[in-house]
Chains A and B, each alone.
Chain A
């Protein structure tokens, strides 16, 4: 299939691996930001093809994983209410709150529905005028345009029974937070190709200069990842701290201007707490006041609850690349995809789930 098979090609993969081997002389630690890339790395076990000098660590780019517990609790509260249809992308349904997840609310009689697009949630609202339809708006810059479109569409149609619980996060502030932390061991980054498709990569240029790290905009197929790594290694070996675009078939420097315009119309930048990491200034998006009547947080007037994470879960260290999942004492024991203690074990983009599915020997029964 066009745009798939050629990016999973054996000969091409092997030749890039050879080139990486020829290029590398020093040990380098490279972080991929995006959970989709983490998933590809583990699914194709790309680690095993790489020279020992290259260490891959996994970043916080799993939107499901970094959505704060307080926000999950709010979602659970809203979803339990009478006359609410709570809609969400599939990944969010299994993310544990303090006691339950959204699937448990569903099993207990709540009307929780998985949708593939936020516009489907708007459609459900049109068909169910006697119910309040709430969409859980999570994600990075990638999902922001579609979520913004849902708000705009509902607003244009003057729907009174649609709202969004917004927990959007932004990538560049998180990258800066990681780099400015103590003991950052990250030498180079693979930037998330789809985030850059929307936003472009101009924001990363000052970060690369300020922190002396090369940042390579990378796609999601195994060949994309290998190319991204090759570029990153070559830049590191030459001490070049610039941004390179290796996802040319999708990313332009300025991004998708129309999508950015829609995001900007609906959302504004705000401080946001990241699950496992903490508050990062100006790292989130919230719904602008002019669309306040579509903001679930305003409609439902939910109290800000202080909630505690499981003591065993080290999701914060995992999401910051300080540890890899098998270094967690609960990994595969107290914490499995069936009984996740933290969100990275839930999402298909979570590092813990990826390690569990593709790298762990599991004995059933």
Chain B
């Protein structure tokens, strides 16, 4: 058989994979669509939700996988282990499903301190108990020193979709309001400041948390939720752009309503970064019909992970995928999808 397939990404553009291909922006999208979806595509995969929603013999379940390669493996507010559990719990939850079972695959670099591995495992145990999921299968590989970066973890999760719920990035409707459960960009800034050795007056910590409890309480009060998304890699801006594209709608967000800590604003100013593009780990965007907005907000604010929930925008038009921002000074501008990794400015 001839395997010399022609590469759909012209070789003149990129002969090698760049870091930006994994950055969650336009290059990631090109890689996913032109290389993966073009070959693996099917009705489930093409939706490009955080997980696939599959109906099998009358049972509707959500199925997702994610790999965790964060560096440093221990960071303010968490470590790679609990991130791997929470991330997959959240990906299942935003499909409108109750996460139940998780698999864990470890790729460990020769030389990792057993003590560190033990700490990671303990925090995974704690995170899975907190999220009420069971780790039911796993795998371990050890690679030569220099062939990995301490430890990589893959988790796959499965959960049951709640009755009467139909959540998909394709479902946003005109009249939906957009709610977020708290302050943005804290995970990314916590990791970046640890990685780059930057010190701020107050310690910023990652917001990593399992969102299934919060999401369950929201689903209990409203059947009019259309979209849920955890704005992780690529941040709030990328998540909103993906939804605008998939639902073919125009979204407007209000800069003054977006919750953000002063420390994060300060760090972003110093580093030349836009907080809208910085990763979150314990945040969820909920699109819900305006008529149910108050109910959903109340339910969220009654949950420890949703105290600072706010409406940050709404879906205003059908027909043209676009995200705009009403700025603090009263003008309106476009919020684009990030094109690669954000590079700090030089002056």
**Which chain A residues have a beta carbon within 8 Å of chain B's beta carbons?**
1, 4, 8-10, 13-14, 36, 42-46, 48-49, 63-64, 89-94, 103-104, 106-108, 114, 116, 138-140, 142-143, 194, 222-223, 336-339, 347-349, 356-365
Contacts and interface: CB of A to CB of B under 8 A. Distances in A.
Contacts of B272: 90, 348
Nearest to B330: A10
A90 B330 contact: no
A114 B7 CA distance: 30
B334 A44 contact: no
A185 B160 CA distance: 66
Given A49-B330, A358-B336, A93 B343 contact: yes
A89 B344 contact: yes
A210 to B, nearest CB: 27
A332 to B, nearest CB: 11
B10 to A, nearest CB: 10
B345 A357 contact: no
Best-buried of A194, A337, A359 by chain B (most CB within 10 Å) = A337
B347 interface: yes
Contacts of A91: 343-346
Contact of A48 (B20, B245, B328, B331): B331
Contacts of B198: 116
Contacts of B5: none
Best-buried of A4, A116, A139, A358 by chain B (most CB within 10 Å) = A116
B343 A338 contact: no
Interface residues of B, number: 42
B332 interface: yes
A45 B331 contact: yes
A36 B345 CA distance: 9
Given A9-B328, A48-B331, 13 more contacts: A8-B329, A10-B330, A45-B333, A49-B330, A63-B347, A91-B344, A94-B343, A103-B18, A104-B16, A142-B347, A338-B27, A349-B345, A364-B29
Contact of A339 (B13, B241, B256, B320): B13
B328 A138 contact: no
Contact of A338 (B16, B26, B196, B327): B26
Contacts of A360: 334, 336
B340 interface: yes
Interface stretch (B176-184, B226-234, B263-271): B263-271
A107 B256 CA distance: 40
Given A91-B343, A92-B346, A108-B16, A116 B271 contact: yes
A63 B346 contact: yes
A358 B334 contact: yes
A44 B262 CA distance: 19
Interface string B301-314: 00000000000000
B85 to A, nearest CB: 31
Contacts of B13: 339
Contacts of B343: 90-91, 93-94, 114, 348
B265 A107 contact: no
Contacts of B346: 63-64, 89-92, 138-139, 143
Contacts of B339: 336-338
Nearest to B271: A116
Contacts of A362: 336-337
11 contacts: A1-B266, A45-B332, A89-B345, A90-B344, A103-B18, A116-B344, A139-B346, A337-B340, A338-B26, A339-B13, A357-B336
A43 B333 contact: yes
Given A361-B322, A364-B321, A365-B33, A90 B345 contact: yes
Contacts of B329: 8-10, 13-14, 44, 46, 49, 222-223
A315 B328 CA distance: 31
A85 B313 CA distance: 45
Contacts of A356: 336
Nearest to B244: A364
A89 B272 CA distance: 11
A91 B344 CA distance: 6
Contact of A347 (B27, B33, B336, B345): B345
Contacts of B320: 361
A42 B30 CA distance: 26
Nearest to B261: A1
Contact of A361 (B241, B256, B330, B334): B334
A359 B334 contact: yes
A362 B323 CA distance: 10
Contacts of B59: none
A4 B334 contact: no
Interface in B228-264: 241, 245, 256, 262
